[in-house]
Amino acid sequence: MDLEWNRGYDKTALDEILQIGAVKIAEPGGPILDTIDLYIRPRVHKKFDHGAKRLPELDRSKASDMKFKAAWEQFRAWCGDETEFASWGGQDLDALKKSCVFWGAEYDLPDKANDLQAVMGRVFGVTGHQLALWRVVEYLGIPDIYDYHNALNDSLYTALVTKLLTREDIDYVPPPKVKLSRRRKPRLSAKDFEPRPPRTTGPFAEREPALDARGSRSPQCPLCERHIWVTEWRHAPESPEYWGMARCPEHGRFLCRLELRKGEAGWLGELTVPPPGEEVLEAYAGASSLYRCRLTGGRKPRRRRRRRR
Ligand SMILES: [Zn+2]
């Protein structure tokens, strides 16, 4: 489904719906089974916003006799017992609901539609911007003979591009993103590097000595191979991964990972300096408990000079 609306420029906070368009399909990529196309006469805002002014079918809304409530009743009857909705973008059902509240009509559809723009963006690996419907239509070689920004046409195109999607793509719920707070966003060396082969350490009888041991705490700088030192580890409960920060005087700070596993001989560690990709940074951000190493038996790392304020 798709809506066209006008936000206007006045103080009434309503996205006034000018057109409701929708098509029915039984499955992703399935044939179009039915369509509905309703133009609604604008009555709330006196002026049209920039987007509404450019709607190719704005005159049909202006010339329409239909009020929102009547259009809503028709649309609601057309939907029947349908329980699943989809749109390009995630706002349409919400806008419908708000208009129902505004005009005093009963809203009994779900609160959320499948956001096929988000699903398609995920499938195509688009990040940082919203995927335009016309790009997917073009990609599929569907002839774009209908104007965009017409609610029925956009619904039709949206239904057609679902042939790229499976049921699983649509139902997939991405895991919540771990936000790096400023405190946990590490300042790292900005230089690119290839990971070196892991350094193994152990076996140790207990976990703590494995975390404290010099061999577990001194990876090599991935750029100059000088030994650098970790003095504290962070880890997430249940995770075998311990994360620490070590600094090369020449190349800056690196995030280091010690993976501790208990084998038959005792605790074995694998120490690496992984390139700080998104997954690495997220794992580090999720590592909330702190373990300060006991620095006995080794060279005491020199105290860092206090930074001047
Ligand atoms: Zn270095």
pLDDT at 32 over 60: yes
Give me ligand 1 centre to Cα 250, in Å.
5
Give me ligand 1 centre to Cα 261, in Å.
28
pLDDT of 109 reads 95
Those residues whose beta carbon sits under 5 angstroms from the ion ligand 1 are: 221, 223-224, 248, 250-251
Mean pLDDT on 80-96: 94
Per the listing, tokens 């860092």 go with 304
| CA distances (Å), origin 187, targets 191, 192, 193, 308 | 12, 14, 16, 17
Buried b or exposed e, range 87-117, using 16+ CB within 10 angstroms: bbbeebbebbbbbbebeebeeebeeebbbbb
Model confidence band, residue 302 (pLDDT cutoffs 50, 70, 90) = low
Give me ligand 1 centre to Cα 249, in Å.
7
Give me ligand 1 centre to Cα 230, in Å.
14
Give me ligand 1 centre to Cα 252, in Å.
7
Model confidence band, residue 298 (pLDDT cutoffs 50, 70, 90) = very low
pLDDT of 31 reads 96
Mean pLDDT on 175-182: 63
pLDDT of 124 reads 84
Distance between CA atoms of 269 and 259, rounded to whole angstroms? 5
pLDDT of 183 reads 54
Model confidence band, residue 237 (pLDDT cutoffs 50, 70, 90) = confident
Q: Which residue has the higher pLDDT, 107 or 239?
A: 107
Give me ligand 1 centre to Cα 183, in Å.
24
pLDDT of 230 reads 93
User: Do the Cβ atoms of 254 and 221 come closer than 8 Å?
Assistant: yes
Mean pLDDT on 93-110: 96
Global pTM reads: 0.59
Q: Among 298, 246, 304, 236, which residue's Cα sits nearest to residue 274?
A: 246
Preceding peptide of 249 cis, ω within 30°:
no
Q: In CATH, what class is 2-171?
A: alpha beta
Choose from 15-24, 50-59, 290-299 the range with maximum mean pLDDT: 15-24
User: Do the Cβ atoms of 229 and 253 come closer than 8 Å?
Assistant: no
pLDDT of 307 reads 61
> What is the residue extent of each domain of the chain?
2-171, 199-292
Q: Which residue has the higher pLDDT, 138 or 238?
A: 138
pLDDT of 303 reads 59
Q: What is the pLDDT of residues 108-163, one digit of tens each?
A: 999 889 999 999 998 888 877 889 999 999 998 999 899 999 999 999 999 999 99
Give me ligand 1 centre to Cα 192, in Å.
12
Task: Name the pairing type of β-strands 114-115 and 86-87.
Answer: parallel
Model confidence band, residue 105 (pLDDT cutoffs 50, 70, 90) = very high
Give me ligand 1 centre to Cα 231, in Å.
17
Q: Which residue has the higher pLDDT, 124 or 175?
A: 124
Q: Which residue has the higher pLDDT, 77 or 264?
A: 77
When the pLDDT of each residue in the chain is averaged and rounded to a whole number, the result is 90
Per the listing, tokens 């990876």 go with 219
Residues above pLDDT 70, as percent of the chain:
93
Model confidence band, residue 74 (pLDDT cutoffs 50, 70, 90) = very high
Distance between CA atoms of 257 and 251, rounded to whole angstroms? 18
